[in-house]
Amino acid sequence: MFAAFQCVIRRDLLLALRRRSDIFTTLFFFIIVVSLFPLGVGPDADILRLIAPGIMWVAALLASMLALERLFANDYADGSLEQMMLTPQPLFLLVLGKVIAHWLVTGLPLVLIAPLLGVQYDLSSEGITVLLLTLLLGTPVLSLIGAIGAALTLGVRGGGVLVSLLVLPLYIPVLIFGAGAVEASVSGLGAEGHIYLLGAILIMALCFAPLAAAAALRISME
Amino acid sequence: MASGSINWFKYSAPSNFYVLAGRIVPWAALLAVVLGVAGLYLSFFVAPTDFRQGEGYRIIFIHVPAAWMSMFIYLVMACWAAVGLVMNTRVSYMMVTALAPTGAMFTFIALWSGALWGKPMWGTWWVWDARLTSELILLFLYIGFMALQSSISDSRRADRAGALLILVGVVNIPIIYYSVKWWNTLHQGASISLNAAPTMALIMFWTLIVMTLACWAYTIAVVYARARCIVLERERNTTWVKELVGGKQHD
């Protein structure tokens, strides 16, 4: 069972490595969106510090939306998804494997680049640490919830736009607590409460989202 | 009615459901009109002026029922969705589809009347308060559900995908419900709860109840009427529908 789980992760990572441009699209989208705001809002460091957490988080949300389409679409197109569903392995485990691989490819780079962008926004080192921590806890949730939306809209016309309509409302709690934690730590209040809640959301998403996504895949494939 | 054992599964057949819904609709509509007129009369002429909020508080008589209905309809949809996914009954999916527009409408009314109420009381149309924001998310969930259903052409897949989405989104309901308790923001706390006396004048409370019942009756009438249309549309190739419309069907 876990061999299949590892196998799915390794396969998806290998596929992603063969098509590196996909990884960089998400990453550069994130960097560009974040870098556009100082040009639009103005280079005032006080304002930038104030809006940094929100901008980073919204950009991360949009970047992960952009990547969602690739989660199942390629496997669906070449039929390998159908083969995976025919294997005796529990489907939610395979879905979890795919989501983890997807997060490693699209979510983790965002987390790693975020400190650099935080410096651009003149965040304090404490704020950057909290930002890193919240992104680390929050971006897997985005991938997990996104998997449900991606599975539901598999092969539907206009699926890309539809996914955002389905998934963004469910992302909002992550956004609130993620950006709230950074804001709280920058303004001197403790960020612990927000971080604990994010952790709780992550655990809940880990438990239920793969099951829901697997059910959604079954609905889409029958 | 009096017979002890009604076979409830009888109404899971669309043809029987169609007849039952047709019987319910006029009564519910009549009830909605009577209760609505009574409730509006009570709320405009009988309920006293609030000593703190003046006349403006009368918005409560539409705002609170609409907010309750918006959450309640979502829960009812979730129940039907679960029944549909478990028992695979077509009528429950039809009910989910029929409920969604009314739920979205009540959510919109709750937000809109809240904005109209917020302007004189709080001095602002909108704040990013926990309850307002979560109610807005609820509106997005309704819209997302309707968009998903309308973009999948295979009605069986649309039903099941929509049902799953509704069940996933149900986590939002407790967040809205408890938001005024968990976050101390601008929105005032609940004035009515099950385990305490209402903190408002009794006549206001009863007016609120009458208005809520009017909204219920309205919802029942509209939803069953819409469900009847959905039944006809989905079952258009069956004999009973063809007999019903008198052979005017061409396909």
Determine the Cα–Cα distance for residues A55 and B15; give it in Å rounded to an integer. 54
pLDDT tens figures, B42-95: 888 877 776 666 677 788 888 889 988 998 999 999 999 999 888 888 888 999
Q: Token pair 């609409």 is at which residue?
A: B66
Torsion over CA: B235, B240, B242, B245 (sign): negative
Nearest to A156 among B133, B152, B164 (CB): B152
pLDDT tens figures, B96-146: 999 999 999 999 999 989 888 888 777 777 777 777 888 888 899 999 999
Specify the higher pLDDT residue, A42 or B28.
B28
- Residue B12, pLDDT > 60, answer yes
Specify the higher pLDDT residue, B181 or A130.
A130
Mean pLDDT computed over every residue of chain A: 86
Residue B175, chain A, CB below 8 Å: the answer is yes
Residue B184, chain A, CB below 8 Å: the answer is no
Determine if residue B54 is left, alpha or beta; phi over 0 gives left, psi from -120 to 50 gives alpha, anything else beta: left
Q: State which H helix or E strand residue B84 sits in.
A: helix B60-87
What the block records as the tokens of B215 is 């909204």
Q: Which of A61, A95, A148, A166 should be substituted to probe chain B, the one whose Cβ sees the most B Cβ atoms within 10 Å? A: A166
Determine the Cα–Cα distance for residues B209 and B206; give it in Å rounded to an integer. 5
Determine the Cα–Cα distance for residues A182 and A126; give it in Å rounded to an integer. 9
| H helical segments located in B123-201 | 130-151, 155-169, 172-182
- Residue A203, pLDDT > 90, answer yes
- Contact between residue A139 and residue A199 where contact means Cβ atoms under 8 Å apart: no
pLDDT tens figures, A1-20: 788 888 888 888 888 888 88
- Quote the pLDDT of residue B1: 41
User: Which residues of B are less than 8 Å from A211 in CB distance?
Assistant: none
- Quote the pLDDT of residue B198: 58
Determine the Cα–Cα distance for residues B145 and B148; give it in Å rounded to an integer. 5
Nearest to B137 among A156, A162, A169 (CB): A169
The distance of B195 to chain A (nearest Cα, Å) reads 29
- Quote the pLDDT of residue B248: 56
User: Which of A134-138, B88-92, B232-236 ranks highest by mean pLDDT?
Assistant: A134-138
- Contact between residue B30 and residue B212 where contact means Cβ atoms under 8 Å apart: no
Residue type for position A203:
I
Residue B84, chain A, CB below 8 Å: the answer is no
Residue B141, chain A, CB below 8 Å: the answer is yes
Q: What is the ipTM of this complex?
A: 0.80
- Residue A144, pLDDT > 90, answer yes
The phi and psi torsions of A13 (rounded to 5 degrees) equal: -65, -40
Taking CA atoms, A16 is separated from A22, A24, A75, in Å, by 7, 11, 12
- Quote the pLDDT of residue A154: 86
Residue type for position A100:
I
pLDDT band at B2 (very low <50, low <70, confident <90, very high): very low
State whether A219 and B157 contact (CB < 8 Å).
yes
Q: Which of A57-61, A215-219, B41-45, B74-78 has the lowest mean pLDDT?
A: B41-45
Nearest to B169 among A157, A170, A220 (CB): A170
- Quote the pLDDT of residue B215: 92
- Contact between residue B208 and residue B217 where contact means Cβ atoms under 8 Å apart: no
Instruction: Give me the mean pLDDT over the B222-246 stretch.
Output: 85
- Residue A84, pLDDT > 90, answer no
The distance of B165 to chain A (nearest Cα, Å) reads 8
Chain A 14-53, residues with CB within 8 Å of chain B CB atoms: none
Q: Token pair 């998400």 is at which residue?
A: A26
Determine the Cα–Cα distance for residues B77 and B66; give it in Å rounded to an integer. 16
What the block records as the tokens of B85 is 């996914």
- Contact between residue A110 and residue A135 where contact means Cβ atoms under 8 Å apart: yes
User: Which of A115-119, A167-171, A205-209, B200-204 ranks highest by mean pLDDT?
Assistant: A205-209
User: Which of A122-136, A179-193, B193-207 ranks highest by mean pLDDT?
Assistant: A122-136
User: Which residues of A are less than 8 Å from B164 in CB distance?
Assistant: 148, 152, 212, 215-216, 219
SS3 for A97? Answer: helix
Name the residue of chain A whose CA is nearest to B170's CA. Answer: A170
Q: How many helices (H) and strands (E) does chain A have?
A: 9, 0
Q: How many helices (H) and strands (E) does chain B have?
A: 8, 0
pLDDT band at B18 (very low <50, low <70, confident <90, very high): confident
Name the residue of chain A whose CA is nearest to B153's CA. Answer: A156
Specify the higher pLDDT residue, A188 or A164.
A164
Question: Running DSSP on this structure, what letter comes out for residue B143?
Answer: H
Residue B82, chain A, CB below 8 Å: the answer is no
State whether A172 and B137 contact (CB < 8 Å).
yes
State whether B167 and A219 contact (CB < 8 Å).
no
Q: State which H helix or E strand residue A106 sits in.
A: none
- Quote the pLDDT of residue A81: 84
Cβ contacts of residue A42 below 8 Å, gap of 6+? none
- Quote the pLDDT of residue A148: 92
Cβ contacts of residue B69 below 8 Å, gap of 6+? B102, B103, B106, B212, B215, B216, B219
pLDDT tens figures, A16-40: 888 888 778 888 899 999 888 888 8
User: Which residues of B are less than 8 Å from A219 in CB distance?
Assistant: 157, 160-161, 164
pLDDT tens figures, B160-192: 899 999 998 888 787 777 766 666 555 665 666
The distance of A216 to chain B (nearest Cα, Å) reads 6
State whether B151 and A157 contact (CB < 8 Å).
yes
